[in-house]
Amino acid sequence: MPYLLLALGLATLVVTGDLLVRGAVGLSNRMGIPPLVIGLTVVAFGTSAPELVVSLSAAADGAPGLSIGNVVGSNITNILFVLGVPALFFSINCKQTGLRRSATFMVFVSVLLIILSLDRIVSFTDGLLLVSLLAGYLIYNGFEAMRMRKKGQAIEEIVEEIDDAPDDTRKITIYLIIGIIGLPLGGKLTTDSALDIASMMGIAESAVGLSIVALGTSLPEFAAGMAAALRRQSAVAIGNAVGSNIFNILSIVGVTSMIIPLKVEENFLAFDYWVMLLISIGILPLIFLHRNIGKVEGVIMASLYVIYLLIVFEVGHEMFNGSF
């Protein structure tokens, strides 16, 4: 039953999060807000809503391992799984405008998270710093996008565009209500069932956050990556993954720690943080050299993801039994 409830919780997060984004975009369109601003704010935050709700719910329930594990696991999943699996079918090119800058910033915020966690807690002040960096990142990208538009250059949004947002008031209202009510319910259901699964499997809560929950909350990014690859818009796929990783650290860890300070378990500083950092650095040569992520790279990335999950479950079992 906990597995079914977890699946239901994750499905609720994905569906209601999508409805909330579409409703918010529809409302923004009705209010005359430019699409660029919508893309950089409403859609960007909305696609990270499942991770944010789960992290807040877990922190409120006294499960910081699940909260941080969801973010770190999602970032690892976004690179190795969300990019690796589509690359098995379609080559992903790394020539997106501004991708070098965004990928470098992704590495920077990953290093910053490690530094802020060295005292084993991400505090309110740390969260304020992360949220401030997010605001600066959004403002910079907004000005850069407007500058490129004035020059007549093509613009690649840092997040996927929502093309079928509702345009009538009744539908917008329904989408927003379902999203606002459904997201917290999905987050609570996901958190409770994940903790039950951790207890049943005899593994630490952080292991569930790093694996099952992280994979589930990354499904929107995976779906977007597969759809982009099918449409031969592979630049959107990698831009979506990199942008999501930046938002996961700056918005989710930032906002959550400003509300509830997050204790950092030893396993994150000993292993998981470094995996996140190494794979973030690992894709930089492909991006800076404009190399494609092809089938070979896809096999390597997908294989590394499977190996990582096996290690997570093994370490999680040792932590649960107090031998780590």
Most trustworthy range by pLDDT among 40-49, 123-132, 160-169, 220-229: 123-132
pLDDT at 22 > cutoff 70: yes
CB-based contact 83:92 (threshold 8 Å): yes
Band of residue 154 on the pLDDT scale cut at 50, 70, 90: very low
For the chain, what's the residue count? 324
Which is it for the CA torsion 210, 192, 265, 46, positive or negative? positive
Closest CA to 43 of 72, 16, 20, 70: 20
Topology annotation, domain 2-320 = A middle domain of Talin 1 (1.20.1420)
Looking at per-residue pLDDT, the higher value among 31 and 169 belongs to: 169
**In the predicted structure, residue 47 carries a pLDDT above the cut 70:** no
pLDDT of residue 254: 94
Residues 179 and 20: beta-carbon distance below 8 Å: yes
Confidence of residue 33 (pLDDT cuts 50, 70, 90): low
Query: What does the block give as tokens for 247?
Result: 């938002």
For the cut 60, the answer to whether the pLDDT of residue 149 exceeds it is no
Closest CA to 253 of 71, 106, 98, 87: 71
Q: What is the pLDDT of residue 211?
A: 82
Q: How many CB atoms lie within 10 A of CB 196?
A: 16
Instruction: For the beta carbon of residue 155, count every other beta carbon within 10 angstroms.
Output: 14
pLDDT band of residue 195 (cuts 50, 70, 90) is: confident
Helix (H) or strand (E) holding 241: helix 234-247
Residue 155 banded pLDDT, cuts 50, 70, 90: very low
Per-residue pLDDT tens for 88-109? Answer: 888 887 877 678 888 999 999 9
Q: What is the mean pLDDT of residues 182-205?
A: 77
Q: Which two tokens stand for residue 322?
A: 């107090």
Q: Which one is predicted more confidently, 75 or 32?
A: 75
Q: For 290-322, how does the pLDDT look when each residue is reduced to its tens digit (9 = 90+)?
A: 888 889 999 999 999 999 999 988 876 676 666
236-274 per-position pLDDT tens digit: 667 778 888 998 999 999 999 999 999 998 889 999 999
- The percentage of the chain sitting over the pLDDT mark of 70, rounded to a whole number, equals 79
Tell me how far apart the alpha carbons of residues 205 and 192 are, in angstroms, rounded to a whole number.
11
3 state DSSP class of 33: coil
16 or 43, which is more confident? Answer: 16
Query: What's the average model confidence in pLDDT over 71-82?
Result: 92
Residue with tokens 């779906």: 223
- Tokens (6 digits) for 250: 């700056």
What pLDDT, on a 0 to 100 scale, did the predictor assign at position 152? 47
Q: Domain ranges for the chain, please list them.
A: 2-320
Mean pLDDT of the chain: 80
